[in-house]
Amino acid sequence: MRRPIRIPDLGGAQAMILHRPHPIVHALTRQLMAIGLQVTEAWPELGPQAIGADYVFFDADMGHDGMFPWSEGQPPMPMVALIGSEAPGRIEWSLRAGAHAQLLKPVGDNGAYSALLIARDAFDTQRALFAEIADLKRRLDGRQTVVRAVTLLAARGKTEEDAYAQLRQMAMAWRISFEDAAARIVASRDDTNPSGRKARDGRHDG
Amino acid sequence: MKRRIEIGLLYSRSGSYSLISEACRSGALAAIAQLNADPDLDLSFVPVERDPGGNVDLYGPLCEEILRDTSARHVIGCVTSSSRKEVIPTLERHGGTLWYAVPYEGFEASDHVVYTHACPNQHLLPLLDWVLPSHGRRAYLTGSNYIWGWELNRLARERIMQAGGDIAGERYLPIGSRDVGRMIDEIRLAKPNFILNSLIGPSSYEFLAAYRQLGQDDSRFQPWNCPVLSCNLTECELPAIGAAAEGLVAAGPYFRGVTGWPGGAGFGSSHEAAAFTAVRELARLLAGRPGAEDLGLSQLLSDDRMPGGIIDPKTHHTVLPAIIARVESGMFRVIHQRNGVAGDPYLTRTPQTCGVAHLRVVS
């Protein structure tokens, strides 16, 4: 089931609008200020101060790579594309730039609030998924180490199941992940000293 | 010599919320009469009326008619949020302005609307601040199936949960439905500490009558034990509710007899008072400025040099008292009042912990 939307605290939040001077900038600024945000305009590129912004609205019509002070498609905040031309090439570029929501031009009386909420939610979801994927990847990479650690523990005459349970207990006692515990076991056996000294003073955080 | 300025009135004189429309309309007409009789004022208002008859699909076309066929640029009108949303595109096209004089659910700040009644930080949040410490944190939420009930109950749920309370139940009825039996059954079983009633019109009247009966059968549901709360109930609907209104608690910017409202204390309800204020504020903005009647709202406000303005230029909302009152012997008696609460439609200017911190201490 989908989690309930988190209504972001928008009072005093910083929005940057990357668009050439134009009435739509005025209309968008009015909306954002009515909502309670502080607004800065920038053109033709976002300066380094953009890193501190909570939201970025950017022109999808005249936008191009290199306008943003971060790696392509990896904005550190939610981004809203301001779309005039709905040409597929421009939509593609907006998505590559990292758009989380869009607002169609001409910007009129409304639309900014829902764009802010949808962009924030998409951004948070994306972040959470990336973190989860990175963690799963790391754990996947550690699979071989887990097998080796279980084999090492089982070599002392335990069943594979008991060795597995022992590894889990060690991880809990050391307060580190299962995979990190396995890496520690493997490292200690690889050590020239077979007594497992590293494993015993393994209280430093993993 | 007075300038004759046409202004639109767009109120439904029949349909499920006509009592509220009529209250607003009479407030607006009272203000027009007062201003027209004022010899010191250089303008008089000529009302141009259209009656959508409670049909939401007629608001857009009738607003269009006013703005297209007459010289009026300002329209006083609309009761439901759905009707307000219907006229905004028309206002945008014609550079017109709507003066909206009823409580609503917030999350809007149109460049073409002035909001002279309360939004949630001026009605719902003060009401919760009052009820949670005094009656408990277990709530039952009701509403009619449209944006007012949905959004009010969403916000109430959020704030009640933040305060450590819980929602005993939540149920909606189609607009106009009198099918309240299931709600009453649920309330009897769920035993909440209070009920937030965002039903409108006949649904609300039916619910209040059935709940009064429940209270007579079981004193747990008497108003002093488990009150019904409302963010939009005013004197204008009391005749339709009768004795079932006894003990009901409502929030609003004005109740009959409260002093301090600009322009007088003789209003029948806050709907009347807020519509009256809308017309008076429009007159203040136009007085002594020939041609200003053709300006759009933002310019009208930014060029305003006279003292006494009440409209926040950013949000187009106003500063109002937040009053909590209880119906006793057929009249609202004030039980709590906080003055000078600025409308905060997006809840970005009100501290997020509103009422929660001190509730924790009480518990």
The pLDDT tens digits for B146-161 are 999 999 999 999 999 9
Q: What is the DSSP string of B174-222?
A: -TT----HHHHHHHHHH--SEEEEE--HHHHHHHHHHHHHHHHH-GGGS
Specify whether A154 is located in the same domain as A83.
no
Q: What is the pLDDT of residues B153-183, one digit of tens each?
A: 999 999 999 999 999 999 999 988 999 999 9
Specify whether A102 is located in the same domain as A153.
no
Last-in-domain residue among A134, A162, A182: A134
Does the complex come out with an ipTM higher than 0.90? Answer: no
Residues of A with CB below 8 A from B158's CB? 7
Q: How far is A11 from chain B (nearest CA, A)?
A: 4
Residues of B with CB below 8 A from A12's CB? 348
Query: Which string of b and e fits B95-131 if b means at least 16 CB within 10 Å?
Result: bbbbbbbbbbbbbbbbbbbbbbbbbbbbbbbbbbbbb
Last-in-domain residue among A84, A114, A134: A134
B38: left (phi over 0), alpha (psi -120 to 50) or beta: beta
Residue of B nearest to A9 (CA): B348
The answer to whether B352 contacts A34, with C-beta atoms less than 8 Å apart, is no
Strand ranges, E, within chain B: 3-10, 43-50, 74-77, 97-100, 113-115, 138-144, 166-173, 194-198, 228-230, 249-252, 319-328, 331-342
Residue of A nearest to B312 (CA): A34
Top mean-pLDDT range of A16-25, A64-73, A151-160, A171-180: A16-25
Domain boundary assignment for chain B: 3-118+256-319, 124-253+321-362
Specify whether A129 is located in the same domain as A64.
yes
Mean pLDDT (whole number) for B2-29 = 95
Q: Which of A138, A140, A147, A202 is nearest to A170 (CA)?
A: A202
Q: Mean pLDDT for chain A?
A: 88
Domain B124-253+321-362: CATH architecture, name and number where available: 3-Layer(aba) Sandwich (3.40)
* Long-range contacts of B314-317, Cβ-Cβ distance < 8 Å, separation of 24 or more: B314/A33, B314/A34, B314/B109, B315/A34, B315/B109, B315/B115, B315/B343, B315/B344, B315/B345, B316/A34, B316/B109, B316/B110, B316/B111, B316/B113, B316/B114, B316/B115, B317/B109, B317/B115, B317/B119, B317/B342, B317/B343, B317/B344, B317/B345
Total domains in the fold of chain A: 2
Q: Mean pLDDT for chain B?
A: 94
Range in B1-10, B129-138, B227-236, B254-263 with the lowest mean pLDDT: B254-263
- Residue among B86, B98, B111, B350 with most chain A CBs within 10 A, to mutate: B111
Q: How far is A106 from chain B (nearest CA, A)?
A: 12
- In this complex, the residue of B110, B111, B348 whose CB is nearest that of residue A10 is B348
Range in B19-28, B89-98, B243-252, B258-267 with the lowest mean pLDDT: B258-267
The answer to whether B348 contacts A110, with C-beta atoms less than 8 Å apart, is no
pLDDT surpasses 60 at A1: no
**Is A183 part of a structural domain of the chain?**
yes
**Is A146 part of a structural domain of the chain?**
yes
Q: How far is A177 from chain B (nearest CA, A)?
A: 33
Question: Which class in CATH covers the domain with range B3-118+256-319?
Answer: alpha beta
Sign of the torsion angle spanned by Cα atoms B5, B8, B13, B17: negative
Do the domains at B3-118+256-319 and B124-253+321-362 have one common CATH topology?
Answer: yes
pLDDT surpasses 80 at B352: no
Contact residues of A toward B, CB < 8 A: 7, 9-12, 27, 30-31, 33-37, 108-110, 113
The answer to whether A113 contacts B107, with C-beta atoms less than 8 Å apart, is yes
Residue A49's domain spans which residues? 14-134
Sign of the torsion angle spanned by Cα atoms B58, B60, B63, B64: negative
**Is A187 part of a structural domain of the chain?**
yes
Contact residues of B toward A, CB < 8 A: 88, 92, 107-112, 158, 298, 314-316, 345-346, 348-349, 352
pLDDT surpasses 80 at A97: yes
The radius of gyration of chain A's CA atoms, rounded to the nearest angstrom, is 25
